[in-house]
Chain A
Amino acid sequence: MNTYSSKSKSDFTLIGTPQRKVDGLSKSTGQAVYTDDLVFPGMLHGKILRSPHAHARIVSIDASEALAMEGVRAVVTGRDMPVKYGIIPWTPDESPLCVERVRYIGDGVAAVAAVDEDTAVEALEAIRVEYEELHPYFDPHEALEASDGPFIHEPKKEGHNGNITKIVKLEFGDVDDLMDSSDVVIEDDYFFEGTTHTPIEPHCAIGHFEGDGKLTVWSATQVPHYLHRELARVLEVEAAKVRVIQPPVGGAFGGKSEPFDLEFCVAKLAMITGRPVKILYTREEVFYAHRGRHPFHMHYRTGASKDGMLQSVDAGIVLDGGAYASFGLVTTYYSGQLLTAPYHMPAYRFDSTRVYTNKPACGPKRGHGSVQPRFAFEVQLDKLAARLEMDPIELRRKNFIGEHTRTVNELRVTSNGFLECLDSVEKASDWKDRYGKLPFGQGLGVAGSTYISGTNYPIYPNEMPQSAVQLQIDRSGRVAVFSGASEIGQGCDTMVAMVAAEELGVPLDHIRVYRGDTDFTPVDLGAYSSRVTFMLGNATIDGARKLKKLVQKSVAEAWECRAGEVLLAGGWAFFSGDTERKMPIREAFNLAEAKYGALGATGSYNTPKDVHGEYRGGTIGASPAYSFTAHVAEVAVDVETGFIDVRKIWVAHDCGRALNPVLVEGQMEGSAYMGFGEAIMEEHVFKDTDHGRAGLHDAPSLLDYKIPTSLDTPELQSLIVESIDPEGPYGAKEAGEGPLHPAIPAIANAVYDAVGIRMDSLPFSPPRVWRALEQAREGGVFRGPEAEAAAVPDTAISAD
C-alpha cells in the first residue's frame, strides 16, 4: 500500500521528533475550555434522581410537588424518552431514564431542570417514586443459574435466561487432542476484579434547543458521532438538526465512549424549557456511570511440549457485566479473540459468557476485554516456564508468532516487533544477571501482549470511511485541518497537525486544528479501540497529499520542472536538484490557488478487507495492525505485611513508528501506571448485606476508590520499539492501550520470583498477598528453605 518501511527518520522534517502539543500551552495556562467551563445566558442546571434499589419495578412517579417549586422549570422521566438505545446496535437495552424497571443502585429515574444547582437538588428530593423491589443478582454465577424471572432483562426468546447478554464459543484447531498429547498441562482459575476509569473530569453535558428546531449538545464524550446518531434516534429529532460539540475532554480511558443519561436529559430538558441546560455529574455519579473493566472469572488450561512449545489453550470465562449490555457483546468476543498473538497457538478454544448483574454496567476500559485474559494467560506462561525450568523470556521467544502471518483465529498480523520488545526489557532490566537471583523478597517478572490498532469494522455496519479530515489552505500560508477525531488528552490534534505540516511543508505553528464539532468536521468514529493515530493519520496523509500535488504542479510550472522535483519542507518549496532554488511555501500556495482556485481537500481512511476469518464473530478482533508490548516489573514484597512495592516497570512497546516520541512515551507510561493501579489497589466493588445495603457502591469517591498517587507509582521506563507497519501512517501503530496489558501479569510473575507465591486474583492488595503468604508458609513452599531463613530483607518496605 505504501512504502514507509523504506523511510528513515532523516527523511522526515517533523515526524519522529519530539514536538510540543498544539493544545499544550492552553492546558498548562488554564485557558482550555472544557464542557463544564461553558456558561450560556439563561442556562438552567439539571440533576438526575437515582434509584436507591438494585432491582425494582417502578410503580409510580409523582413529580407534581417538584414541578410546583419556585425555580423548577421542567421534570422528565423515562416515559418522556422511551426509545431504547445501546452503543452496540444489536443490544439496545437502555433508555435515558428508567421506564419501568431500575437495575442498579444509581440508575437514573427522573431529571429536573432548575434555575440553579441548589434548587435542582431540592427538587429531586420532592419527587415521589414508588418502587416494588425485585430479587437482585450480584453474583454472576447465581444470575447464570436463574431458571425463572423476573430476569434483569426480558429474555430474547421464551425459555431463555434473561440474565445473559452474550455467549461466545469458538474453537480453532484440535484443542482436545493437542491438550491430551501435551507433555505439560497448566490448569488454574483466575479472577480479575472490576476497576473503573476515573478520568479527573467528571462527565458533563449542555443541551441547547433553538427556536428553529436545531438541537446542540456539548459533551465530554469520546464518541461525538455515535452520540449524534443516538440523540437523533432516541429524541426523535432529525439527525440533520442535531449538532454535537466536543470541547477538550479531561480524560476518558473508555469511560465516555457511549451515550450517557445526562446527554439525553440535557437535550430533552432544553427542548422542553427552550433554555440551555447543563448537567455535571458528581464524582459519585461517575462511579455509577462506570462502563469500566468487567470482573472476569477465568479458567485456563494450557498444554505445551516439554521443550516449551505451546500446543493447546482452553479458556472458560464468565464476565460480570452489570446492569446493561454496553459494549458487552464485543467484550465477550474480545475476552477470547485478542489472546492469539504474540504467541503461536496450534489450537485454541474459548467459551465466554457475559452475565447481567444488578450493578453499574461494565464496558470498555483501556485494553477492552483483553487485559483480563492477558493477565491469566501470561501467568499461565510463567507457571509453564517454572514447570519446565525455562527462562520465561526464552519461553516467550520460542513461541513467537512471527510477522506477516495469521493467528489461529485467522486475524491478519502485519508488522510485529515483539522480539525486539523482549530483547529491550531483558537488557534494560539486566534480567539475565538478576532474574531468579535477587535476595528473597525481591523479584523480577516478565509479560507480553498484543493489541489492536483500531477495530477493522465500525460499530454499525457501513462501507463509509472510518476516519476523515478536511483541509483548507489560506493565502497567509496557514493550513486549517477540520478533524472529526476526539482529543481526550492522547494528543490526536498534535498528530494531525504534525502530519499536515510534514506533507505540506509548513511550520507546525502554521497549522490550525479545528475539531470536535459535527457541524463542520467530517466523521471520525471516536477515540476508542486505539484507532485514532492509525486511521486519522492515514486520512490526513490522504487529504494533504491531494493538496500537495496541486502545489507541486503549480510550482513546477513556474520553474519549468517536473512536479516530483518540487519538495515542500520547513516553510519552503525547494527544487530537488538544487535546494538553493526555493520560494516561501506561502508563495507556492498562492501559485496553486491562482491556478486551481481556493485550496481545499478531504482525506479519508477505511480499513482493508480480508484481514479476518470467515466465521461468525471472525470480524471482531480484526484490526489493520497490531501493537506488541513486553514489560519487566521489579518488586519487593514485605512478607510481614503483604505490601508489594513495585519499584520499576520497564515498558517496551512496538508502536510501528513513534510519530511524536514524547506523546508515545506518555501513552506508554500512562498505560503502565494504570495497569499498576489495577494490579495493586483498584477495586470497583459493592457492599453486601453484612456491610450496608446490598449492591451499594462500596467506594464512590476518589478517596475510597484508591488510584495511585505520585508516591505510589513506580519508576516507569519507556523503551520505544519501531517495527514500521506497512499500512500505518508513516508506519505507525497504536500506543494508548497495548502498554497497559503486561503490567499486571509482570507484577504477578515478579511476586513469584520474589517470594514464590502465585497471585491469581486481583488486586494484589496487602490482605490478599498476606493470606497467600500464610498459605505458602503453612504449605512450606517459599522459594527455598535457605531463602526463607534469610527472612525479611531490609529493603522490603522502604519507600524509595
Chain B
Amino acid sequence: MSTTLEIVRLCVNGDAHETGVPSHYTLLETLRYALRLTGSKQGCDKGDCGACTVLVDSVPTLACITPVWEAEGCAITTVEGLATPAGPHPLQDEFDLKGAAQCGFCTPGILCSAVALLERTTEPSREQIKEALAGNLCRCTGYTKILDAVEAAAERLNGTLAAEEESDR
C-alpha cells in the first residue's frame, strides 16, 4: 500500500520544519514519527492520559487528538524545547530534585501543562496546580512530589525561594 504524503509546515521549539506526512496524521504522530521528537509520549492514543501534552501557542494541547494541520502556523513547544543551553527549565530541575519523575513517561506532558500554568499564574495555589494537572495522569507518584516540584519551581521563578534552601542545593 502506498500512502500519499502531504507537506506540513510546523514551527517546533523555534525550528521551522517542512515534512511529508499522511493526511490523517496527528500532531503527535508528526512530532514522533516524522520529526523524531520522541519526548512527547503516546500513552492512550485517544486523548485520555495527557502524556502527549505539548504547548500550541502556549496552550496545553493533546497532540494525540490534534490533526497536524491545525497546528500549522502555530508556535509549538515540546518537552525538548523547555531547557536552554544554560540548563534545564526550573520545572525540570525541580522535578529532578524532588523526585517528581519516577518512570518519567507522563513527565513531558505534565511539564508542558505546568509551564502553561506558571505562565498564566506566577503564584499558583496547590489547588490551582492540581486543577492545571488534572488532565495528566501519573500512575507512579501519587502526585505529591509533582505538586511539590511545581510549587518549588514557581517560587524559584519568582525568586522567592528562601536563601538557605538555595544554599542547600
Contacts and interface: CB of A to CB of B under 8 A. Distances in A.
A648 to B, nearest CB: 11
B133 A703 contact: no
A14 to B, nearest CB: 15
Interface residues of A, number: 67
A654 interface: no
Contact of A28 (B2, B36, B104, B135): B104
Contact of B142 (A29, A37, A670): A670
B1 A118 contact: yes
B1 A30 contact: no
A30 B108 contact: yes
B49 A200 contact: yes
A30 B80 contact: yes
Contacts of A28: 79, 88, 91-93, 95-96, 100-101, 104, 107, 111
A255 B59 CA distance: 34
A707 B96 contact: no
A663 interface: yes
A216 to B, nearest CB: 20
Contacts of A605: none
Given A30-B79, A33-B38, A489-B103, A253 B139 contact: yes
Contact of A25 (B49, B88, B131, B147): B88
A87 B140 CA distance: 25
Contact of B145 (A199, A665, A671, A715): A665
Interface string B27-62: 000001100111111111110110100000000000
Contacts of A251: 102-103, 105, 139-140
Nearest to B51: A200
B82 interface: yes
A703 to B, nearest CB: 4
B145 A250 contact: no
Contacts of A707: 137, 139
A214 interface: no
B68 interface: no
Contact of A30 (B2, B40, B91, B141): B40
A20 B92 contact: no
A116 interface: yes
A249 interface: yes
Interface residues of B, number: 63
A670 B102 contact: yes
Interface in A266-320: 280, 282-283
Contacts of B40: 30
B41 A711 contact: no
Contact of A666 (B49, B105, B136, B140): B140
Contacts of B69: none
Given A669-B142, A702-B137, A29 B83 contact: yes
A669 B83 CA distance: 28
A199 B105 contact: yes
A433 interface: no
B130 interface: yes
B158 interface: no
Nearest to A249: B103
Contacts of A253: 139
B31 to A, nearest CB: 11
Contacts of A201: 41, 43, 103, 105
A713 interface: yes
Contacts of A197: 139
Nearest to A114: B1
B22 to A, nearest CB: 7
Nearest to A201: B105
Interface of A: 18, 20-21, 23-34, 36-37, 39, 69-71, 114-116, 118-119, 122, 197-202, 248-253, 280, 282-283, 488-491, 662-663, 665-666, 669-674, 701-703, 707, 709-711, 713, 715-716, 800
29 contacts: A18-B99, A20-B96, A20-B97, A21-B99, A21-B101, A24-B96, A27-B103, A27-B107, A28-B91, A28-B96, A28-B111, A29-B83, A29-B88, A30-B37, A30-B80, A199-B139, A200-B49, A201-B43, A248-B104, A250-B105, A251-B102, A253-B139, A283-B48, A673-B141, A709-B135, A709-B137, A710-B129, A716-B142, A800-B127
